[in-house]
Amino acid sequence: MSTPPPQRLTGRVAVVTGGANGIGRACALRLAQEGATLAVIDLEQDALNETAHAFAALHAPLMIAADCTKRDEVEVFIARVQHEVGPIDILVNNVGQGARERKTTFLESSEEVWRFVVEINLFTTMRFSRLVAPGMVERGWGRIINMASESAVIGPNSSHDYGAAKMGVIGFTRAVARELAPHGVTVNALLPGPVRTRALERSAGDEAKKAVASIPVGFLGEPDDIAGFAAMLASDEGRYITGQSILVNGGRWWL
């Protein structure tokens, strides 16, 4: 029988963006298992419905289907969380993706795709953080956890847009962490390596296989490996960690 996770987040309200699949879903479940009350936003209603079943024995989450790249929809979501659930203590900025089926070399790329990738990775992180940070500062406690990627430091082929956006997340994390630290708010970035998610399954086969073969620990990461670290950062145990870019990648690369 596995040991239940500690109850480090009892009484906290947490928002997870892109929380219906993969790492976002794992983070939402782990925070809830540790006692947090969750609000999840994701574009995919069917995936939200499936995720809701996983919360059956946990705090009933608020799950809203909305587009994180639309400012008005995000503002409505945050207002609803604050009204129906309570002041937001923890924000996991997880929503994001690469160009996927539109992925090309830089020489073949287009501004339309750049803008989409930067918007969904960097601007959503900034947008949600701007909406919740004032309340955290006012209450003197808060945790913002931004999902970057090892792609920001490795620079893999055909990831010019994704790598640039995720490096932007790292720069944003550092600047805002310095500004908010005196107010009891920590801001950190997690940089996952290859993790068994739908996004990895959609990656080019040869590239994915090469990535897995390069992991020193000898196995592919799971979403729970990222979620466990996020939960620690979200708790009081993470109070002395801020502005950091933390690679969680089985030793494939390091800073």
Q: Which of 77, 116, 162, 172 is catalytic?
A: 162
Specify which residues 186 forms β-bridges with: 143
Closest by CA to 39, choosing from 100, 102, 89, 103, is 89
Determine whether 240 is an active site residue.
Answer: no
Angle, in degrees to the nearest 10, between helices 22-33 and 45-54? 30
Give me the half-sphere count of Cα atoms (radius 13 Å) on the Cβ side of residue 113.
19
**Residue 209 to residue 205: CA distance in whole angstroms:** 6
Residues 6+ apart with CB under 8 A from 22: 195, 197, 198, 199, 223
Cβ(88)–Cβ(135) below 8 Å: yes
Angle at which helix 111-118 crosses helix 160-180, to 10 degrees, equals 30
Catalytic residues: 162
